[in-house]
């Protein structure tokens, strides 16, 4: 009999054939130590008491589950609820993971924190938590991303972090991760690597999932209070996959709740300028784990594109690959233009300017809702707010700010 997904990964970090630990020799003891520390924290009520207390008073949790009445009407009546991660401190779900790992680093006695960032959202969350906990923070960021996201670079500096430019490869997120791993190999004794999504070698995908599961746990309680039953669908955007796993995982054994993960189709799947690893990738190894990856015929990692900076990554968390393989979740892709349309729609029907990442999930929801019975319930994870994306949207509209 198949193991229930709840008991995965196995002790080596495998979700059946996905995940594992493809890491340099020098990191294996560090990963073992991290795993042991996390297992200890996981079973220590005082660790979770501090996580819960800071989640409440610092991050602003629980975030509301909001009935989007006008969007529901617009779509023909299927009830649409939004899980408001956009209202969490720093404007997205990323704070949940940064807080959990920051507390773990402190528990391990590590005061030097390194992190990678693409557009800067995880860098800002990591820098925020390090300021709050009094830890040193170094953020690796590709030079290309630094020039595209000057505001987030400045934010990280305001928060006291050092931003280290990465000039290798395509000078974007995957190169920043490579550089962070290199730093960790060199400084492993005093350094904690605060990884930003459910990717990387074991135990990161599991640990980050557990910290983000607070989203799904709250959602379950909130939808039962509001509707007296579980939703028919949960829909979330998938970059590395952490906001999606966070809202999906607490429902994994509720078989009537269908999961839909929405990836970035960028300029179209056929153009190869996209970031849809699950929809259009092949199984391979990237950043320490086996999962779906965007690679060419020679196995080289492809350049990706999405209008949403947080979705612009050529890999995906191994647990999503497992969900895809066993059919627990369905993965689809939405392109830049459709995401932009949904961005405007949500802004104007609900007065909520979404981040471009969850605008992908909103787009798919709108398309699907029109063909569903009115009684059905959809929960969309609104992973972040759109303030960070206003420049990108203005550019797309040809507006000069």
Q: How far apart are CA 251 and CA 216, in angstroms?
A: 7
Instruction: Describe the strand order of the beta sheet including 377-382 as a list of residue ranges.
Output: 65-67, 79-84, 377-382, 233-237, 258-266, 329-335
b/e sequence 96-109, b meaning 16+ C-beta within 10 Å? bbbbbbbbbbbbbe
> How do beta strands 162-166 and 191-193 pair?
unpaired
In the complex with ligand PLP, the residue whose CB is nearer, 121 or 295, is 121
Q: At closest approach, how far in Å is the CB of 145 from ligand PLP?
A: 13
The residue assigned the tokens 């078989």 is 255
Query: In the annotation, is 383 catalytic?
Result: yes
Helix (H, G, I), strand (E, B) or coil at 142: strand
- For ligand PLP (CB under 6 A), the number of binding residues is 19
Beta bridge partners of 233: 258, 378
Which listed range, 100-108, 140-148, 183-191, 242-250, lies at the site for ligand PLP (CB under 6 A)? 242-250
Least CB distance from residue 1 to ligand PLP, whole Å? 31
Query: Mapping DSSP to helix (H, G, I), strand (E, B) and coil, where does residue 257 land?
Result: coil
Find the shortest distance in angstroms from Cβ 247 to ligand PLP.
10
Residue 72 binding ligand PLP, by CB under 6 A: no
Residue (78 or 243) nearer to ligand PLP, CB? 243
Residue 375 known to be catalytic: no
Task: Report the run of H or E that residue 165 belongs to, with start and end.
Answer: strand 162-166
Site for ligand PLP in 254-313 (CB under 6 A): 310-311
Smallest gap from residue 45 Cβ to ligand PLP (A): 27
Task: Tell whether residue 238 is a contact of ligand PLP (CB under 6 A).
Answer: yes
- By CB under 6 A, tell whether 241 contacts ligand PLP: yes
- At residue 381, φ and ψ (nearest 5 deg) are -80, 110
Contact between 242 and ligand PLP by CB under 6 A: the answer reads yes
Cα–Cα distance for residue pair 173/188, rounded to 1 Å = 21
Helix (H) or strand (E) holding 164: strand 162-166
In the complex, the smallest distance separating the C-beta of residue 227 from ligand PLP, rounded to whole angstroms, is: 25
The conformation of residue 354, written as its DSSP 8-state character, comes to B
| Given 137, 180, 353, 355, the residue binding ligand PLP (CB under 6 A) | 355
**Sign of the C-alpha dihedral computed for residues 57, 59, 60 and 62 taken in this order:** negative
* Of the candidate residues 121, 128, 306, 363, the single one contacting ligand PLP (CB under 6 A): 121
Binding ligand PLP (rule: CB under 6 A), the pick from 23, 34, 153, 237 is 237
Query: Is residue 197 near ligand PLP by the rule CB under 6 A?
Result: yes
53, 75 Cβ separation under 8 angstroms: no
Name the active-site residue from 59, 277, 321, 383. 383
354 contacts 325 by C-beta, under 8 angstroms = no
Q: Does 231 bind ligand PLP (CB under 6 A)?
A: no
Q: Where are the alpha helices (DSSP H) in 228-268?
A: 242-248
Q: Least distance to ligand PLP from the beta carbon of 263, Å?
A: 9
Among 240, 250, 281, 315, binds ligand PLP (CB under 6 A): 240
Nearer to ligand PLP, 177 or 311 (CB): 311
User: Is residue 350 annotated as a catalytic residue, yes or no?
Assistant: no
Q: State the Cα–Cα distance between residues 116 and 180, nearest whole angstrom.
A: 6
Are 354 and 361 within 8 A, CB to CB? no
Among 357, 369, 378, 392, binds ligand PLP (CB under 6 A): 357
Out of 83, 94, 290, 388, pick the active-site residue.
94
- Apex 116 CA angle, 5 and 124, nearest 5: 100
**Class of residue 397 by CB neighbours under 10 A (exposed 0-12, middle 13-18, buried 19+):** exposed
The candidate with the shortest Cα–Cα distance to 238, out of 214, 212, 272, is 212
Q: Per CB under 6 A, which region of 127-135, 231-239, 262-270, 320-328 contacts ligand PLP? A: 231-239
Check residue 108 and report its DSSP letter. Answer: T
Cβ 49 to ligand PLP shortest distance, Å? 26
The reply on whether position 205 binds ligand PLP by CB under 6 A is no
Provide the minimum distance between the beta carbon of 287 and ligand PLP in the complex, in angstroms, as a whole number: 13
Catalytic residue among 85, 110, 116, 363: 116
Closest CB to ligand PLP among residues 137, 275: 275
Task: Note the residues at the interface with ligand PLP (CB under 6 A).
Answer: 92, 94, 121, 197, 237-244, 310-311, 355, 357-358, 383-384
Residues involved in catalysis = 94, 116, 383
């Amino acid at each position: 009999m198949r193991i229930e997904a709840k008991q995965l990964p196995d002790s080596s970090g495998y979700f059946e054939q996905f995940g594992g630990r493809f890491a340099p020799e020098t990191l294996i003891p560090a990963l073992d130590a991290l795993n042991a520390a996390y297992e200890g924290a996981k079973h220590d009520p005082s660790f979770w008491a501090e996580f819960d207390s800071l989640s409440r008073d610092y991050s602003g949790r629980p975030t509301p589950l909001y009935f989007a009445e006008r969007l529901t009407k617009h779509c023909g009546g299927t009830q649409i609820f939004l899980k408001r991660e956009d209202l969490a401190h720093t404007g997205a779900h990323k704070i949940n993971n940064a807080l959990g790992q920051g507390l773990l680093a402190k528990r391990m006695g590590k005061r030097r924190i390194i992190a990678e960032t693409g557009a800067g959202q995880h860098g800002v969350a990591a820098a925020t938590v390090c300021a709050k906990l009094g830890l040193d923070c170094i953020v690796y960021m590709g030079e290309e991303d630094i020039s595209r996201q000057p505001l987030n670079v400045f934010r990280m500096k305001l928060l006291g972090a050092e931003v280290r430019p990465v000039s290798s490869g395509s000078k974007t997120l995957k190169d920043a991760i490579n550089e962070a791993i290199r730093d960790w190999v060199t400084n492993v004794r005093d350094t904690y690597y605060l990884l930003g999504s459910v990717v990387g070698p074991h135990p990161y995908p599991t640990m980050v999932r557990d910290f983000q599961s607070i989203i799904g746990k709250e959602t379950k309680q909130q939808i039962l209070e509001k509707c007296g039953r579980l939703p028919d669908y949960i829909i979330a955007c998938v970059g590395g996959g952490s906001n999606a796993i966070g809202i999906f995982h607490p429902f994994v054994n509720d078989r009537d709740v269908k999961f839909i993960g929405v990836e970035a189709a960028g300029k179209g799947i056929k153009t190869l300028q996209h970031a849809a690893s699950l929809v259009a990738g092949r199984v391979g190894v990237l950043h320490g784990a086996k999962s779906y990856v965007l690679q060419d015929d020679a196995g080289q990692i492809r350049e990706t594109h999405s209008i949403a900076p947080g979705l612009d990554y050529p890999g995906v968390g191994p647990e999503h690959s497992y969900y895809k393989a066993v059919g627990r979740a369905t993965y689809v892709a939405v392109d830049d233009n459709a995401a932009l349309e949904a961005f405007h729609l949500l802004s104007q029907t609900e007065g909520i300017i979404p981040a471009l990442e969850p605008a992908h999930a909103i787009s798919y929801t709108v398309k699907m809702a029109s063909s569903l019975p009115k009684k059905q319930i959809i929960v969309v994870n609104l992973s972040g707010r759109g303030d960070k994306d206003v420049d990108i949207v203005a550019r797309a509209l040809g507006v000069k700010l």
